[in-house]
Structure 1
Amino acid sequence: MSDLLKRHRAVMPNWVALYYDEPLEIVSGKGCRVQDAQGNSYLDFFAGILTNMLGYDVPEVQEAVNRQLRSGVVHTSTLYLIRSQVELAEKIAALSGIDNPKVFFTNSGTEANETALLLATHARGSDQVLAMRNSYHGRSYAATAVTGNRSWKNSSLSPLNVHYLHGTDRDRFPGMSDEEYARFCVEDLASVLDSATAGGVACLIIEPVQGVGGFTAVPDGLIGEFKKTLDEHGILLISDEVQTGWGRTGETFWGIQAHGVTPDAMTFAKGLGNGFAIGGVVARGELLDALPANGISTFGGNPLSTAAAQATLDYLLSHDLQAHAHRLGTKMITELRRAAEGLPVVGAVRGKGLMFAVDLVDPATGEPSPAIAGRVMEETRARGLLIGKGGLHGNTLRMAPPLTLSEAEAEEGLAALVRALEAVARERRADRG
């Protein structure tokens, strides 16, 4: 065990998980690659949990941050005007598609979701909230309350009255066609509203593609069908775009746009700052204006993070990285599905754009296998590739490389992933004799 690992375990909580049997320390990075303390180089297909959206050592972002540092002003707080904050809010508002939008900045996706839930429950005068099974919205009190994944739920105590919906559990209903499943989900929503609530539900909060849940998505169009029922009851719609925003899914700029609806509020974070801490809510102006008490964010939208975010967003738009994600991601997912056909350890391949996943299963039983997922992660690391893990059962490999990934790097990473899957499949065959 390394000295740093011993020190980590001595002072950090046990629930702060570390990847790999021998955790690594990343000390430098450039482009889509990072280097550990031992000098090993890796192609990064997880990007700091979808946060280093442009990769590492990006000159445009560095210069924007350095300019702000040279000014001597790193922090002022929202009690003063912050030019870069206003400029960034203007850009996000224009991109949101929401009518008369306003923006409030936070430090993280968790804080953003807390804010959105506060807006909705105040507007509706209700603590009743709808959420999705297998969802994840953060680690704070209310965010945990609307999280539908037991692995990330630390307490049954809640400031909210939450009801969970079907829509991301398609695999549990193999006997249904896609149309039958969608109809079932809409009927389930109506049934929950009729039987389990006291009326006056505040909102539905939903990830268009579930992040921690293993990149499981509601079928395209389903949120649009949900919204018809929500509108009948005056229920607000919050789209959690912390992982799906900024064009990562390729086909649309925001994940919710795949469903043909405009939400009342969207939350965002992660990739916007390309590693700098920033999150926020963009919502209808009357929703954000309606809170009756004073409010500030000491660090949210500070001059340094908004300078980085502006540079990141400008780069993303000027290089049309959404189209790049769509083109490259479609190709990679197609090739990965083809390679997985002969691998019994692979249960499913899914994804959109540069956001795709592989479920690992026990080839003898077909049951989810976190152990096999862990082995594949070790094998990908050995081949110079870093990936993520998640899913309801912890058996899903998650790939979300920087949106600047080149075609050559895509081929390199995909080859390493396939070779790792093949190696573990051979191990399983050998174990069975």
Structure 2
Amino acid sequence: MSDLYARHRAVIPDWVALYYRDPIEITHGEGRHVWDADGRRYLDFFGGILTTMTAHALPEVTKAVTEQAGRILHSSTLYLNRPMVELAERIAHLSGIPDARVFFTTSGTEANDTALLLATTYRRTNQTLAMRNSYHGRSFSTVSVTGNRAWSPTTLSPLQTLYVHGGVRTRGPYAHLGDAAFIEACVADLEDLLGHTADVAALIAEPIQGVGGFTCPPDGLYAAFRQVLDRHGILWIADEVQTGWGRTGEHFWGWQAHAASGPPDILTFAKGIGNGMSIGGVVARAEIMNCLSANSISTFGGSPVTMAAGLANLSYLLEHDLQGNARRVGGLLIERLRAAAAGTDLVREVRGRGLMIGVELVKPGTDEPNPEAATAVLEAAREGGLLIGKGGGHRTTALRIAPPLSLTIAEAEEGAALLEGALASVRPSSRQVL
């Protein structure tokens, strides 16, 4: 493994991050488990950054990919593509957006980049709104709407972006307020912001912030925002790259927690729909999607192989009610983690919905971020046989837990016990967990 690490460092950019002091090579997986090159098995609670959404080596997806690869691997969007049309039809229907059109990309970054192109072209302005602590991708346009300094490497931008309060419920100037007052204050901030700026194209927002540490606004925040946006003709882009496909348990899409607003004008998706294959995309009503006056194609977006994987994966998750499983098993896992957190003063908050859970760590006895502890817990969890992620807008102090949606109750209990042990190994507490 040290040889592969040395080779990696010799040819891969320094800014491509690797987890762990001794990085691992994952060689294969099955169900909710993966194995490294040394043959060690891990319970996977991160799924390749929320991408292996259903299960590793899911037979239905593997079979669909193999069969399609045996027919044709690639053709581009210059030709009719049956799997692409079939998946687009299903996603258009599921999106809730009327008269929807679907454009496929290869990643969430590219999907958000396309959404920003559509919104700014449709509205004839390059001014945008985004949420503080947000993350939307690594392209030149998407880093410019990313409100998380750790993931935005340049101030140069094709867009003029203003940042809005509300994505983080338990930090910031309104954290002390109740939910209704919190929403009222955030709306007043938005109204004030719009009073000092020219025409705005869109607000782009994650219903639950992913890289930001799985932070959740109160239900109804974006419905309240939508009333303001509609008065100004401003579009709402819902970034569902991490929240889509039932991961939150309560809803199929994250925007549905704010359902009084109706569906967004533009919805972006990626990650889980391909269960590991490179699929992203944009859904918008026809008048917005068709506003581009120049030609455009996608060489690899809508690839027959990735579309076959997406169709098989979507069918599986709907037929097996994985959204319901995320709600049931995720609810149990959250409660189990909250009980574990009661045994340590490292944990400030356990938050999230379904199988999208954040555990925020602080310096004991304070409210200060504790990135060193987050790194230490990540390492200790790996040593115990559990893979998790980390994130957060406060110097990467949140553990990110997002297992495949087919997680069993027994695996949830096992993972919670492993994480409890990792937390205890970093800073043992005298308090007893009940």
Give the CA deviation at 1:366.
Answer: 3.1
User: For residues 85 and 45 of structure 2, what CA distance do their matches in structure 1 show?
Assistant: 33
Are residues 1:123 and 2:122 paired?
yes
Deviations 1:380-419 (A, max 9, x none): 1111100001001211100000001111111111110111
Aligned to 2:14: 14
Alignment of 1:25-424 (within 5 A): 25-71=25-71, 73-170=72-169, 171-172=171-172, 173-195=174-196, 197-198=197-198, 200-260=199-259, 261=261, 262-392=263-393, 393-424=395-426
Are residues 1:23 and 2:23 paired?
yes
User: For residues 152 and 145 of structure 2, what CA distance do their matches in structure 1 show?
Assistant: 9
SS in 2 for 1:349: strand
Aligned length: 425
- Structure 1 gap segments, 5+ residues each: none
Give the CA deviation at 1:137.
Answer: 0.3
Give the CA deviation at 1:364.
Answer: 4.1
Cα distance 1:39–1:280, how it changes in 2: closer, same or farther (>3 A)? same
User: For residues 342 and 108 of structure 1, what CA distance do their matches in structure 2 show?
Assistant: 39
Give the CA deviation at 1:81.
Answer: 0.3
Give the CA deviation at 1:360.
Answer: 0.9
Please, which moves more after superposition, 79-88 or 52-61? 52-61
Q: Give the counterpart letter for 2:26 in structure 1.
A: I
Deviations 1:139-161 (A, max 9, x none): 00110100000000111011011
Contact 2:55 2:404 in 1 (8 A): yes
SS in 2 for 1:358: strand
SS in 2 for 1:328: helix
User: For residues 226 and 30 of structure 1, what CA distance do their matches in structure 2 show?
Assistant: 42
User: For residues 174 and 152 of structure 1, what CA distance do their matches in structure 2 show?
Assistant: 24
User: For residues 163 and 299 of structure 1, what CA distance do their matches in structure 2 show?
Assistant: 33
Please report the RMSD computed on the Cα atoms of aligned residues, expressed in angstroms: 1.1
Deviations 1:155-180 (A, max 9, x none): 10110111100002332234322222
Could you state the TM-score of these two structures normalised by the residue count of structure 2?
Answer: 0.96
SS in 1 for 2:142: helix
User: For residues 103 and 365 of structure 1, what CA distance do their matches in structure 2 show?
Assistant: 47
SS in 1 for 2:427: helix
Deviations 1:348-383 (A, max 9, x none): 110000000101111043311110011111111111
Q: Give the counterpart letter for 2:423 in structure 1.
A: L
User: For residues 206 and 365 of structure 1, what CA distance do their matches in structure 2 show?
Assistant: 30
Percent of aligned pairs with the same residue? Answer: 58
SS in 2 for 1:102: strand
User: For residues 202 and 57 of structure 1, what CA distance do their matches in structure 2 show?
Assistant: 41
Could you state the TM-score of these two structures normalised by the residue count of structure 1?
Answer: 0.97
User: For residues 124 and 347 of structure 1, what CA distance do their matches in structure 2 show?
Assistant: 42
Deviations 1:251-309 (A, max 9, x none): 00000000013100100000111111010001101111111000000000110000000
